[in-house]
Amino acid sequence: MDKSWMKLSNRFCKAYMDGVSLFIDVAKHHLNEDGKTRCPCRNCLNVEYKKIDDVIADLYKYGISQSYQRWMYHGEVVDLSENVSNMSTMHNDEVLEEGDGLLEMLHDVGGQIPVGSGSIDDQDEGVESDHVQPGVAATTFDELLQ
């Protein structure tokens, strides 16, 4: 399906208007129980549900979101099988290799993450810090880094 119309700046040219018609034909088949669909305009960004006439008005007023290349909220099927197969062939040692710098970058950004049981009783009392004291989440995150 040609979506080049989505990049046109003139929202009143024939190509853009034809593209809006194409989109509306698709969107009409994906209405919720209130007769509304997600509005993909640059203002609503598929968060707002609106009646078809309001979606049309928004698409002309604001334009369609450039990032909405796959109309997944309006029934376009996204084939994830290629990504899943690529991920399934990846081995754990390929994710974080020693010396790849990722751990060092994380420590540069967040500082050293203390390792502990995560229990508040196990933490040193009286230690002042601008950072949140390590708890269960910090301990779990640190364990993931190792």
Both tokens assigned to 7: 């990049």
Decide if 90 is inside a domain. no
Statement: the pTM of the whole predicted model exceeds 0.85: no
Residue 137 lies in a domain: yes
69 and 9 in a common domain: yes
- pLDDT per position as a tens digit, 3-38: 888 899 899 999 999 999 999 999 999 999 999 999
CA distance 47 to 34: 15
* Two structure tokens written together for 72: 């997944």
Domain with 135, as residue range(s), is 97-123+131-146
Does 110 lie in the same domain as 52? no
Question: 106 CB contacts (<8 Å, ≥6 apart)?
Answer: 145
**For residue 24, what pLDDT is reported?**
93
Task: Express as a percent the part of the chain with pLDDT over 70.
Answer: 53
Are 66 and 109 contained in the same domain?
no
Distances (CA, A) of 51 to 32, 35, 54, 128: 10, 6, 5, 54
Q: How many domains does the chain have?
A: 2
